Amino acid sequence: MVDKPVDHDAAARRYLAVQQSAEFQDLRTTFRKFVFPVTAFFLVWYFVYVLLSIFAPSFMGTKVFGNINIGLLMGLGQFVTTFAITLAYSRWAGRELDPRADAVGARLDGEASH
């Protein structure tokens, strides 16, 4: 079995052409418009939780009902938020991002066959 030689320069040119295309720029912009704000929100939420735990332990220890306190509820809220963000991203990506990524991929595949 003889492997066909690969033209790495041609492959690099194809990838650069796709990266510089309007479709790819739109894909990247669409991705960033969702991911950056959600990431910023979650990091703020996480650091509020950590900082309150460090600097306001009496507040975090405030009982809400029974032995359940604010710190425990906020800690569990971190997990809930993580799952909610994951679900939201999955649905959003399937609706908005994946079709655009498929189009960019199809363009790259089409150029590779030439």
pLDDT tens, position by position, for the chain (114 residues)? 567 766 778 878 888 888 898 999 999 999 999 999 999 999 999 999 999 999 999 999 999 999 999 999 999 999 999 999 999 999 999 999 999 999 888 877 776 555
How many residues are recorded in the chain? Answer: 114
